[in-house]
Amino acid sequence: MPKNGLNVALKGLDDLFSSEETRQEEQREQVQQIPVNELFPFKNHPFKVLDDDAMTRTVESISQFGVLAPLIARPRPEGGYEIISGHRRKHAAELAHLDTLPVIVRNMEDDAATILMVDSNLQREHILPSERAFAFKMKLEAIKNQGARSDLTSVQIAPKLSAEKIGKDAGMSKDNVKRYIRLTNLVPELLDMVDEKKISFNPAVELSYLDEAQQRDFLEAMNDTQNAPSLSQAQQLKKMAQQGEFSYEAAFDVMGKEKKSELDTVTIKNETLRKYFPRSYTPKQMEDIIIKLLDQWQKKRQRSNER
């Protein structure tokens, strides 16, 4: 058979065995230019879109080069498109006064769309604890839902392995995934403090076991004592709550105690020390000189006291 005839025959076979659905899917995967006002955020999107320095740089890049990476969205029953990936790009495009955006449109079920939305956003460099917490929770529910719609074996295994899968995708242990999800039990004020690094991650996980009323009593006690909780303090408060002994007064008493680490430790920031030493000095060299100067200062004080 001539070569051209062979190509025609193969092409005919491809057309014969490719379904209409496949051809439509290939067509849908093409990048389309969609008006900005027809793009809507993903329902309960857990990632914050902030007007920070990174957003300013994104706006400048889009103004100069346009949106290089297309968004991913799915059609909405009520019209328009729900963004799965690209919320920050869409906001930056609005600030750059673009009328349309390049978008890949996919028909996706809720759970598959949720998993893709979470995974695409978790690739970002800076993610707040609250964002990671709610993203993990959404992905966990989506994976469990997918398992529940599968065969009996999947129904039994999926809930058990869901946290492990999320951890593997995120590069952390399943226990750490569960600890992040615990943060979703915090009242908004406490969760904001975790994002702002006013409360450390591990104490926050322990505080998540307090109910809402107890958390608000703790907040008041924390404000009144002007102390952030250590891990041991948070564990003590959790134990008190579990034993029915928690109250504002008890929280105030716990938070009012000076932390042993604060009594035993003096911390000098590196940038403070660097003002007095050449850049080539190692921490050990700086420590040796500081101890030597303190020894000289102590001897000088002793001589003064002997006079």
Mind listing the pLDDT tens digit for each residue in 85-143?
999 999 999 999 999 999 999 999 999 999 999 999 888 878 999 999 999 999 999 99
Q: Are 70 and 103 in contact (CB under 8 A)?
A: yes
Per-residue pLDDT at 16: 41
Per-residue pLDDT at 295: 84
Q: Are 199 and 234 in contact (CB under 8 A)?
A: no
Q: 81 — phi, psi (to 5°)?
A: -135, 140
Per-residue pLDDT at 28: 52
Tell me the average pLDDT across 46-68.
Answer: 92
Nearest CA to 38 among 89, 85, 86, 100? Answer: 100
Domain-wise residue ranges, the chain: 18-181, 188-257, 267-293
Mind listing the pLDDT tens digit for each residue in 284-295?
788 888 888 988
Tell me the average pLDDT across 54-74.
Answer: 93
| Tokens found for residue 50 | 């902030």
Tell me the average pLDDT across 56-80.
Answer: 94
Per-residue pLDDT at 27: 52
117-122, long-range: CB < 8 A, 24+ apart? 117/42, 117/45, 117/84, 117/85, 118/46, 118/142, 119/169, 120/72, 120/84, 120/85, 121/47, 121/85, 121/87, 122/169, 122/170
Strand partners, 152: none
- Just give the CATH number of 18-181: 3.90.1530.10
Mind listing the pLDDT tens digit for each residue in 223-242?
999 999 999 999 999 999 99
Mind listing the pLDDT tens digit for each residue in 140-163?
999 988 776 554 344 444 445 788
